[in-house]
């Protein structure tokens, strides 16, 4: 595997802007690289996911490596030391939006897969460049898994070159309070929905969330609040809606999460509605993805055969990984949390490298990630 070619490809990926729903140019560049490197089959599906397949001696087992190609944006006016779309290499790092989350991992996957000797590859290797992860975790990967039915999945999100065997899930929760409008000169005639929401927020802060020794604590963070009418000109608001980001542990369901809110004593006597909304987005192909914004947590035992094989593969490649779990939500919410397919996470960079100003990825970690993916492929497919 040529490190210069890997770095150049990762630079190209960073230079292509690819917000959620705007990944077309990046998908084309990934397809081009896969074809040039000799993948047996390359296509972009109806949702926009780009898929490359390397056929081994048999059609199974199938190992799928997944990296999403959409990124968050660059905040207007934010000062970066390097052009966020420049793909510049300096001081041993690749700089720019998406370098760590997660175009570097994708580049490493593509080049590592192409470097596998398919004449001794027992099964089938798939690299999936999935879309829309930043807004609907797992929905792009879902389409690819339905088509190819992988036996094992590797999520390339940042692990600092360690091996993750689980991850917290995520839910978006809307809580709405209902009051009665009145002129603000006579507030006693109405019922202020914002005051009720203040009681709700105080109640939410009293919830005793569970903690998991591997995944950490469940939590619920207020991310948005708005009253209606807005702006409120001389009128008591009759509605108020707050949005919460809820981080999930294994075993939690839509019903249990909402019940935890609606049964709060602080809500007694209030006109309150708690829901998990439906998300609907259009991909760059014109396809629409739609579903409940509830993305389950997942966790595999440290002695699970797939976890042990992947760990051995990383060690055989010269790495010294520890076992851990993602604190944020990934596409594994579908592959493991919903579909139950054995899944691990492995990628370059740290979790805190994502979505930040001056995002960057160490070149040495890019190279070691590629070697790690090779190690996982050899260990898992040879024992699969």
Shared-domain flag, residues 16 and 150? yes
Is the pLDDT score of 384 beyond 50?
Answer: no
> What does 289-343 look like in DSSP terms, one character per residue?
EEEESEE--EE--TT-HHHHHHHHHHHHTT----EEEESS--THHHHTTTS---E
Residue 69 resides in a domain: yes
| Rounded Cα distance, 17 and 97, in Å | 9
Average pLDDT over residues 136-159: 97
CB atoms within 10 A of CB 211: 11
Which helix (H) or strand (E) segment holds residue 108: the answer is helix 104-114
> What's the confidence (pLDDT) of residue 45?
98
Residue 288 resides in a domain: no
> What's the confidence (pLDDT) of residue 1?
67
pLDDT higher for 57 or 295?
A: 295
Is the pLDDT score of 171 beyond 60?
Answer: yes
| Rounded Cα distance, 344 and 108, in Å | 16
Q: Which of 282, 311, 330 corresponds to the end of one domain? A: 282
Residue 151 resides in a domain: yes
| Rounded Cα distance, 151 and 341, in Å | 7
> Is pTM, for the whole model, over 0.75?
yes
| Rounded Cα distance, 34 and 47, in Å | 19
Shared-domain flag, residues 228 and 150? no
| Rounded Cα distance, 17 and 84, in Å | 9
Shared-domain flag, residues 367 and 276? no
Average pLDDT over residues 37-58: 95
Residue 19 resides in a domain: yes
Q: CA geometry: angle at 242 spanning 236 and 247, to 5°?
A: 170
Residue 287 resides in a domain: no
Distant-in-sequence, close-in-space partners of 20: CB < 8 Å, separation ≥ 6: 70, 71, 131, 132, 133, 134, 135, 281
CATH value at residue 264 = 3.30.70.360
CA nearest to 353, candidates 67, 98, 26: 98
Shared-domain flag, residues 13 and 119? yes
User: Which SS3 state, helix, strand or coil, does residue 346 take?
Assistant: coil
Number of domains in the chain: 2
Shared-domain flag, residues 259 and 367? no
163-167 and 323-326 beta bridge pairing: parallel
Percent of the chain with pLDDT over 70: 99
Which helix (H) or strand (E) segment holds residue 200: the answer is helix 193-204
Average pLDDT over residues 25-35: 98
Residue 292 resides in a domain: no
Shared-domain flag, residues 377 and 236? no
Is the pLDDT score of 383 beyond 70?
Answer: no
Shared-domain flag, residues 101 and 238? no
pLDDT band for position 60 (50/70/90)? confident
Average pLDDT over residues 19-44: 98
Shared-domain flag, residues 150 and 177? no
Shared-domain flag, residues 9 and 126? yes
pLDDT tens digits for range 179-228: 999 988 989 999 999 999 999 999 999 999 999 999 999 999 999 999 99
CATH value at residue 47 = 3.40.630.10
Distant-in-sequence, close-in-space partners of 259: CB < 8 Å, separation ≥ 6: none
Residues paired with residue 105 on neighbouring β-strands, in sequence order: none
Residue 160 vs residues 122, 210, 246, 299, 365: alpha-carbon distances, Å: 29, 26, 25, 19, 8
Please report where in the chains the tokens 């609040």 appear, as a residue. Answer: 225
pLDDT tens digits for range 65-101: 999 999 999 989 889 999 999 999 999 999 999 999 9
Q: Which of 231, 258, 282 corresponds to the end of one domain? A: 282
Residue 258 vs residues 115, 130, 222, 223, 277: alpha-carbon distances, Å: 48, 30, 15, 17, 12
Q: Which of 220, 249, 282 corresponds to the end of one domain? A: 282
| Rounded Cα distance, 66 and 142, in Å | 11
Residue 319 resides in a domain: yes
pLDDT tens digits for range 317-343: 999 999 999 999 999 999 999 999 999
Shared-domain flag, residues 222 and 156? no
Overall size of the chain counted in residues = 384
Mean of all residue pLDDT scores within the chain: 95
Cβ atoms of residues 361 and 353 within 8 Å: yes
Is the pLDDT score of 307 beyond 50?
Answer: yes
| Rounded Cα distance, 334 and 331, in Å | 6
Query: By residue range, what is the domain housing residue 236?
Result: 169-282
Percent of the chain with pLDDT over 90: 90
Shared-domain flag, residues 154 and 278? no
Residue 86 resides in a domain: yes
Shared-domain flag, residues 11 and 147? yes
């Amino acid at each position: 595997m040529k490190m210069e070619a890997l770095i150049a490809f990762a630079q190209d990926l960073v230079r292509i802007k690819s917000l959620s729903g705007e990944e077309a140019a990046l998908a084309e560049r990934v397809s081009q690289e896969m074809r040039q490197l000799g993948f047996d089959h390359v296509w972009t599906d109806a949702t926009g996911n780009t898929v490359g397949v390397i056929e081994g001696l048999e059609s199974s087992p199938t190992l799928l490596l997944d990296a999403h190609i959409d990124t968050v944006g660059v905040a207007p006016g934010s000062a970066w030391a390097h052009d966020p779309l420049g793909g510049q290499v300096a001081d041993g790092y690749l700089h720019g939006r998406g370098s760590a989350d997660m175009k570097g991992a994708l580049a490493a996957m593509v080049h590592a897969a192409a470097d596998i000797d398919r004449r001794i590859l027992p099964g089938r290797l798939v690299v999936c460049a999935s879309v829309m992860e930043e807004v609907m975790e797992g929905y792009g990967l879902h389409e690819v898994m339905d088509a190819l039915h992988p036996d094992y999945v590797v999520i390339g999100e940042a692990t600092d070159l360690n091996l993750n065997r689980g991850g917290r899930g995520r839910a978006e929760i809307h809580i709405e309070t209902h009051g009665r409008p009145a002129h603000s000169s006579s507030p006693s005639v109405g019922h202020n929905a914002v005051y009720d929401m203040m009681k709700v927020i105080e109640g939410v802060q009293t919830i005793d969330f569970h903690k998991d020794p591997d995944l950490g604590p469940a939590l619920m963070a207020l991310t948005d609040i708005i009253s209606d009418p807005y702006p409120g000109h001389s009128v008591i608001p009759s509605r108020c809606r707050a949005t919460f980001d809820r981080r999930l542990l294994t075993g939690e369901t839509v019903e249990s999460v909402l019940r935890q809110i609606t049964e709060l004593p602080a809500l007694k006597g209030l006109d309150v509605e708690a829901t998990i909304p439906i998300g609907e987005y259009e991909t760059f192909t014109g396809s629409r993805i739609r579903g409940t914004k509830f993305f389950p947590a997942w966790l595999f035992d440290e002695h699970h055969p797939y976890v042990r094989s992947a760990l051995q593969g990383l060690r055989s490649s010269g790495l010294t990984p520890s076992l851990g779990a993602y604190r944020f939500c990934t596409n594994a919410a579908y592959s493991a949390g919903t579909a139950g397919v054995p899944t691990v996470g492995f990628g370059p960079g740290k979790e805190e490298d994502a979505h930040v100003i001056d995002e960057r990825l160490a070149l040495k970690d890019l190279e070691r990630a590629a070697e790690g993916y090779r190690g996982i492929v050899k260990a898992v497919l040879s024992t699969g």
